[in-house]
Amino acid sequence: MTRRVPHAAILLTLALVMASLLGACARNPTTGRRSLNMLSTEEEIAIGVEQGPVLINEFGGKVPDPVLQEYVQELGLRLAATVEVDDPRMATLPWEFTLLNSDVINAFALPGGKVFISRALAAEMTNEAQMAAVLGHEIGHVTARHANERMGDQLIWGIGGAIGGAILGGVIGRDTESAGIGAAAGGTIGSVVALSYSRDQEIEADRLGMRYMERIKYDPSAAIEVQEILKREAEKHGSRPPEILSTHPSSETRINELRKRLDKYYQHTFNNPEYVKNPERYQREFLSRLNSLPPPPKQTAMNGEGAGGMARGLWADPSRWCAHCAAGEH
């Protein structure tokens, strides 16, 4: 004889937990959205400080050239200084920008202001504005607190899925086993829905990156050029999973979104000499020096272990950059 489960009590408990979590939401000045505060600013900084060296090691270490490191750091800090307009608190983060000695095309950010770009990605670029677009995108993940949002989204959708699952279990049958099946199904549904937030976050980071680079007079159309580079690299890797099953939007989607934004908000930059790309400076001061270095150590595909391994797995398909979500889950 099966035992009845008090579904009303389960649903009430889950609903109260959900209400409590939603009540802990706060507005992010950068995005204008309210989100669940899973991490304090101090905790985000601590994550970056702790996990940064781990990821640097996973991706071949730093490029052993202080001039190139300073080039990336200087550009990143100029971009990061513009975030004060939106949220002064974000401007006080210990921002650090690192050029990784990696042959995998990637870029990612950790909470708290740690931003990374691989030499393989930098080598595919042709101008400084493209690098500004990539670093700006990663800064956007930090200022929008996407790792924090992702944690909150997963928790809320998991609870919401459990509520739906409990209802589903009640419809299927009034026993413990049915309720468990329903809760598991609800959790799966919640996880699938949460993927859409990750895709939205990538689009939002693209938009924020365009905002930051325009503020320091870089041509924002270079953000589209970056996506064209990633699209080209993705095509070299052959087929990719359907977009609905991916954690990131396709390059085609991102190019379309960036073009719409460029036309709507940045027409003042069209054919305007004040907004630069600096191809000569990039190729003379950065690329020529980078290309003179010994090649980076060969890195294998995802090994399934650790944040770096997960990030490399995402980067097997360059159109799915960046790896902040993988890093943010650890």
Over the stretch 251-261, which tens digit does the pLDDT of each residue have? 899 999 999 99
Tens digits of residue pLDDT in 228-246? 999 998 888 665 555 444 5
How far apart are the C-alpha atoms of 165 and 180, rounded to whole Å? 8
pLDDT of amino acid 322:
60
Task: Using pLDDT thresholds of 50, 70 and 90, give the confidence band for residue 319.
Answer: very low
The region, left, alpha or beta by phi > 0 then psi within -120 to 50, assigned to residue 112 is: left
Tens digits of residue pLDDT in 139-153? 999 999 988 888 765
Q: Please list the residues that pair with 158 across neighbouring strands.
A: none
Q: What percent of the chain has pLDDT over 70?
A: 66
Is residue 257 within 8 Å of residue 203, measured between CB atoms? yes
Q: What percent of the chain has pLDDT over 90?
A: 54
Is residue 160 within 8 Å of residue 212, measured between CB atoms? no
The region, left, alpha or beta by phi > 0 then psi within -120 to 50, assigned to residue 32 is: left
Those residues with Cβ within 8 angstroms of residue 329's Cβ, 6 or more apart along the chain or in another chain: 150, 307, 310
How far apart are the C-alpha atoms of 97 and 48, rounded to whole Å? 12
Record the tokens describing residue 33, joined without a space: 């959205």
How far apart are the C-alpha atoms of 309 and 99, rounded to whole Å? 18
Q: Which long-range contacts (CB under 8 A, 24 or more apart) does 288-292 make?
A: 289/65, 289/67, 289/68, 290/63, 290/65, 290/68, 290/119, 290/122, 290/123, 291/123
Give the DSSP letter string of 78-122: HHHHGGGGT-HHHHTS--EEEEE--SS--EEEETTTEEEEEHHHH
Count of beta carbons in the 10 Å neighbourhood of residue 32? 8
Give the Å distances, CA to CA, from 279 to 137, 187, 205, 231: 20, 49, 24, 21
Count of beta carbons in the 10 Å neighbourhood of residue 237? 11
What average pLDDT is seen over the chain?
78
Give the Å distances, CA to CA, from 76 to 48, 62, 96, 212: 16, 16, 8, 10
How far apart are the C-alpha atoms of 317 and 107, rounded to whole Å? 13
Give the Å distances, CA to CA, from 34 to 28, 31, 85, 148, 152: 6, 9, 19, 12, 11
Stronger pLDDT, 307 or 155, i.e. the higher one? 155
pLDDT of amino acid 290:
98
pLDDT of amino acid 172:
45
User: Region 279-298: what's the mean pLDDT?
Assistant: 96
Is residue 62 within 8 Å of residue 117, measured between CB atoms? no
